A and B are shown apart, each in its own frame.
Chain A
Amino acid sequence: MKQHPLCSDCEDKITPMDLPIPSGLKKEWATCESRRQFLGRTGKVLGWAALAGLFGEASLNYRALASGPNLQAGSGINNLGLPHFAPKAKRAIYLFMSGAPPQIDLFDYKPNLAAQFNNDMPASVRGNQQLTGMTAGQARFPIAPAHWPFKQYGQTGTWISDLLPYTARMVDDLTFIKSTNTDAINHEPAIMLMNTGNMNAGKPCLGAWLAYGLGSMNDNLPTFVVLQTKTNPKENNQPVSSRLWSSGFLSSEFAGVGLRSVGDPVLYLQDPAGVDRQTRRKMLDAVEEINRQTLAEVGDPETNSRIAQYEMAYRMQSSVPELTDLSKEPESTWDLYGPEAKEPGTFAYNCLLARRMAERGVRFTQIYKRGWDVHDNVVGNLPVLCGETDRGSYALVTDLKRRGLLDDTLVIWAGEFGRTVYSQGGLSQENYGRDHHPRCFTVWMAGAGVRPGVTYGETDEYSYNVVKDPVHVRDFNATILHCLGIDHNKFAYKFQGLDQKLTSPVPAFVVQGILT
C-alpha cells in the first residue's frame, strides 16, 4: 500500500523533489534537505558546538552574498552566476542629462519643418497623447522648427546640430537611438523609470544592480560613484536626489556613493583637526585589535565586515584625494577637456574624474547634469547647456579611446524624455519653448558592446511618434545590461514574493540592431 509521499518510512522513497512543483522552490528545498541530511547523519553526536558552527557558516555565506559577489576560483563567474556570458564592457559611464534635452534641436534632423514654421501641428500626429498641464490648455500647437542649422559629419554622414561642434567630431564613434520612448511625461517618474525601471521610488537603480551583480574591481574606491555637476542658477534645474542612485531593496552598500561637487568630494573624509594620519592609523589599529577579540569571542561575521569597512574608510581617505588630485595630468588633458575641466564641479571636470575612475577600476560612474528643462527661451538656454556639456562628452569618449579604455567601457548619454515639436508659449522667429514629450527622444552610446556609427530607430517628420524600431526604456536598460554580460531576464532578486528585475515586469528586449 502506498504511503503518504512525505512519510519518511515510505518504501517507494518518493521525496518532495519528485512532486510537480516549481524548480525554484525545489532549489530552496534542496538547501533545507541537505541540512536535514546533515543533521540526520550526525544527529546522535551533534553537540551544540557543531550546531553553532553550522549556523555560523550559513550566516557567513549569506554575508558573503550580501557584501557583493565573490569570484569562484578560476571560472571568472561569481557566485551569483554572473556574468551570464562574456561581457563586452567591464564598466560603464552614464552621462545623465536631467531635465530632458530637446532631440529636435540637437540630433533628430527634420529639414521639412522649416517650411512649416508656425503651422498647427496636425491633430492626427498628436493622436491620443495626453499633454502636461503646462501646454494642455494652449489654443494652438504651432510648429517650432529647430533654430540652428544641421550639418553632416564623419564618414557616416550623421546630421548634427551646430550647437554640438564637439559631438559632431566623434559621430563615427557613437551609436544613436532616435526611437527611445518612455511611459512618463513628468520629470520625477520619468527619471525614476530611466534609472530604476520603475516610476515609483524604492527600486534599485542600474548602478546598484551592477554593483550587486558584478561586484568591485578595486580595493580603494567604491564600486558605483555618482557625480553631480554644479548647477547653473540661470537654468531650469529639476531636482535630483539620492533616490536615483538608491539600492532599493538590495543592501545599501550597493547604492551609489555621491562624490560632491563642492568642498570635500566625500563627506567626513578628513580627519578632525588635531588628528594626523599616524594617530588615525594607531587609533584604527587599536579598534581592529579589539574587533578581532570580539570576533573570536562572539563569532559574528558582521564583525569581520566592520573590520574590512574601517580599512576601506582609511584607504578612501587617501585614495579619494589621489583621485581628485589633477596636478599630474599632462597638458594634453587640458587641451582635450578644456580649461573648464580644472574647476571642480563642472561637467568637463566630472568627465575627467570619470576617466580617472575608469582607470582605477570603478565599475559604474554616473554624472548628472541638470538644467535641460527648456520650457521657454530655448534659443537663449540651449547654447549655454550645450556649451557646458558638448566638449566634456567628446573629451571623455576621445580620451577613453586614446587610452584603449573604450574597448571595455560603455559610455551612455541620455535624458529622461524628449521635448515637443510644437512651441510652449509664444513662438516667434527669435524664440520658442518646448514641453515634455515621452513618445520619442534621442540617446547615444559609445564603446564596448555597441556598433559605432549606427543610427537606430526613426521618428515621423514631426519628431513626435516613432515610426521604426521603437526602443522602450526597459529595452534600453536590457541592452546596457547585455553589454556588461548580463541577461536581464535571468538577473533577478527575490523581494516581496517576486523575482524583481531592472526590466520587469513588462517583457523587455535587447536592441540587437546596435550590438557588435
Chain B
Amino acid sequence: MVRDIALQSGNLLVRQIGGPSVKPYQPPSIWEQVSYPTSDTVHYAQEHGDALHRRSMYTYVKRMAPLPNMDAFDAPTRDTVCTRRQRTDTPLQALITMNDVQWVEAARGLAERVIRAGGSQEQRIDRMGLILLSRVPPPPMAAVLEKSLSEMQKRYAANPKDAHALVSIGEKKPDSSIPEPELAAWAMIASEMLNLDETLNK
C-alpha cells in the first residue's frame, strides 16, 4: 500500500490488471545470500519499463528472500496464513522511504506532476497536499514546506551537478522541460511530504 501510494502520487503507477509477476528495483545480492546453489532463483534479474511501476501485489515473491523494501513494512512471509498484518515503525522503514530508488523516483514524479499543473508556489504545495493528504496543508505546515523549498532551491541552484544526480535517479527519464535545480528542489519537498507521518500512517 505504502509503495503503491508513492507510485500513484508520482504518476508512475501502471494500471494494468493481471499478468505474470514482475521484478522491480531490488538492491544487489539479496537472493544470492540465502539461496541453495542449485536453486532456479539464485540470481535476481531486475526488469525494466512498466515492470518497475506495477502495483506491489504483482511483485515476484521468493519466500526465502522477500523483497526487502516490502519485508521491512511487515509484508507477510507467506509461510503461514496471515489473519492480521502487523503494524510497526522502524528506522529501516524510514531509510527505505527516504533512500530507495523506488521512492526517490516517485518523489521526483510527484514534483513533475505539480510543476506541470502550473500555478503559484502555494498552489503547487496545496496540490501536493491534496494528492497525498487529501487536504490543503494548513498554514503552519505550508510555512515549513515553503521555507524548506526556498532552502532547497538555493542549494540546488548552487549545485547543478547534485540536482542532475538527484533527478536522474530511476529508469523513468526526468521531464526535460523543467530546469533540473528547480525539479530537484521540488523533488525534495515531495520526498518530505511522502515521509510525513500523516502520509504514511493515516
Contacts and interface: CB of A to CB of B under 8 A. Distances in A.
Contacts of A272: 99, 101, 104, 165-166, 169
A291 B27 contact: no
A253 B166 contact: no
A201 to B, nearest CB: 4
B74 to A, nearest CB: 5
Contact of A316 (B29, B37, B91, B191): B91
A92 B77 CA distance: 27
Nearest to A251: B88
A267 B72 CA distance: 10
Given A263-B29, A273-B169, A287 B93 contact: no
B40 interface: no
Interface in B17-39: 27-29, 32-37
B27 A263 contact: yes
Contacts of A202: 79-80
A275 B190 CA distance: 14
A305 interface: yes
Contact of B36 (A238, A280, A291, A317): A238
A499 interface: no
Interface stretch (A15-23, A240-248, A431-439, A448-456): A240-248
Interface residues of B, number: 65
Interface string A311-341: 0110011000000000000000000000000
B11 interface: no
Given A239-B35, A272-B104, A267 B144 contact: no
A231 to B, nearest CB: 7
Contact of B68 (A267, A290, A300): A267
Given A243-B77, A290-B144, A306-B200, A313 B98 contact: yes
A384 to B, nearest CB: 16
B33 to A, nearest CB: 6
A252 interface: yes
A263 B68 CA distance: 15
A253 B155 contact: no
B1 interface: no
A303 interface: yes
Given A274-B184, A287-B195, A268 B201 contact: no
B69 interface: yes
B73 to A, nearest CB: 9
B13 to A, nearest CB: 21
B150 to A, nearest CB: 11
Contacts of A44: none
Nearest to A261: B33
A260 B94 CA distance: 18
A269 interface: yes
Contacts of A309: 89-91, 93-94
A343 interface: no
Given A294-B196, A310-B195, A233 B37 contact: yes
A312 B95 CA distance: 10
A311 to B, nearest CB: 8
Contacts of A264: 27
Contacts of A152: none
Contacts of B92: 257, 266-268, 313
Contacts of B32: 262
Nearest to B159: A274
Contacts of A295: 197
Given A306-B200, A309-B90, A283 B169 contact: no
Contacts of A269: 95, 99
B200 to A, nearest CB: 7
Contacts of A233: 37
Nearest to A67: B89
B50 interface: no
Nearest to B137: A290
A237 B36 contact: yes
A300 B27 contact: no
B197 A253 contact: no
B71 interface: yes
A276 B159 CA distance: 11
A271 B152 contact: no
A195 interface: no
Interface string A222-239: 100000100101000111
Nearest to A310: B94
B110 interface: no
B140 A251 contact: no
B162 A241 contact: no
Interface in B178-197: 184, 188, 191-192, 195-197
B69 A283 contact: no
Contact of B192 (A222, A276, A283): A283
Q: Which of B35, B98, B165, B166 has the most CB of A within 10 A?
A: B98
A287 to B, nearest CB: 5
Contacts of A257: 92
Contact of A253 (B88, B104, B191): B88
Given A263-B27, A267-B27, A287 B192 contact: yes
A321 to B, nearest CB: 13
Contact of A241 (B64, B165, B184, B198): B64
B37 A237 contact: yes
Contacts of B184: 274
B164 interface: yes
Contact of B162 (A274, A300, A307): A274
A241 B144 contact: no
Given A201-B79, A202-B80, A283-B188, 5 more contacts: A237-B36, A240-B34, A252-B86, A271-B99, A294-B197
10 closest cross-chain pairs (CB), A and B: A274-B166, A274-B165, A313-B94, A273-B165, A313-B91, A312-B91, A274-B162, A286-B148, A268-B95, A268-B99
8 contacts: A242-B66, A266-B92, A273-B166, A273-B168, A274-B159, A287-B196, A305-B89, A313-B95
Interface of A: 200-202, 222, 228, 231, 233, 237-243, 246, 251-253, 257, 260-264, 266-276, 279-280, 282-283, 286-287, 289-291, 293-295, 300, 302-303, 305-307, 309-310, 312-313, 316-317
Interface of B: 27-29, 32-37, 63-66, 68-69, 71, 74, 77, 79-80, 86, 88-96, 98-101, 104, 138, 140-141, 144-145, 147-148, 151-152, 155, 159, 161-169, 184, 188, 191-192, 195-198, 200-201
